[in-house]
Amino acid sequence: MRKLTYFVACSIDGFIGDPGGDASSMFAFLDEEFLGYLTSTYPETIAAHAREPLGIEAAGNLRFDTVIQGRASYQLALDAGVTSPYAHLREYVASRSLAESPDPHVEIIAENLVERVRELKAEDGGLGIWLCGGSQVAGELLDEIDELVVKTYPQVYGSGMPMFGSGFAVADFTLESVRTFGNGVLVRTYARRR
């Protein structure tokens, strides 16, 4: 059984971006210490176009070999002219509107999203599955999430795009680790309590 991990960046008050999803204010915290942590611990979460400038183009995948994104999150890459933003991973994009995949490396999940994710989790071997977001897809897949890795930036948004676009329901998690950084970023890892 492979784990589905929602590895996500958010503000102190739990927003993954402004009301439109923009989280660029968080980029200011990508300093040497925190980037060093990301590139050495989660290199596969660095988008393909940024790997060479960061000197990690040859880095192997450590935690994940698969990524799942909602189409709105993937759209950011498409708008930048990138059709396979995580070419070093198996890429899945949930979308009912993309009639065909813009890239042979990207598989579109148009229906039965939860069932498809269960099939991926049930595959033997391999590394974990990274749920990249955004909010809507994370809300739909909340029941399937086995692990949360929450990068919390020391900013309050007041309102914005919530971590989960879902209705009210309590889901319990166990805190497994907390890592703090000099610039005030926190990375908390939680395991799902079933």
Ligand X SMILES: NC(=O)c1ccc[n+]([C@@H]2O[C@H](COP(=O)([O-])OP(=O)(O)OC[C@H]3O[C@@H](n4cnc5c(N)ncnc54)[C@H](OP(=O)(O)O)[C@@H]3O)[C@@H](O)[C@H]2O)c1
Interacting residues toward ligand X by CB under 6 A = 8-9, 16-17, 21, 23, 70-73, 76, 94-98, 109-110, 113, 132-137, 140, 161, 165
Give the nearer residue to ligand X in terms of CB position, either 46 or 109. Answer: 109
Q: How far is the CB of 93 from ligand X (least distance, A)?
A: 8
Sign for the CA dihedral angle at 150, 164, 68, 115 comes to positive
Judged by DSSP in three states, 181 sits in coil
Q: How far is the CB of 141 from ligand X (least distance, A)?
A: 9
Contact yes or no for 102/162 (Cβ under 8 A) = no
Give the nearer residue to ligand X in terms of CB position, either 23 or 89. Answer: 23
Contact yes or no for 153/26 (Cβ under 8 A) = yes
Give the nearer residue to ligand X in terms of CB position, either 62 or 75. Answer: 75
Cα–Cα dist 121/189, whole Å:
19
Cα–Cα dist 128/2, whole Å:
5
Q: How far is the CB of 172 from ligand X (least distance, A)?
A: 22
Q: Which residues contact 187 (CB under 8 A, 6 or more apart)?
A: 37, 149, 150, 151, 152, 178, 179, 181
Q: How far is the CB of 139 from ligand X (least distance, A)?
A: 8
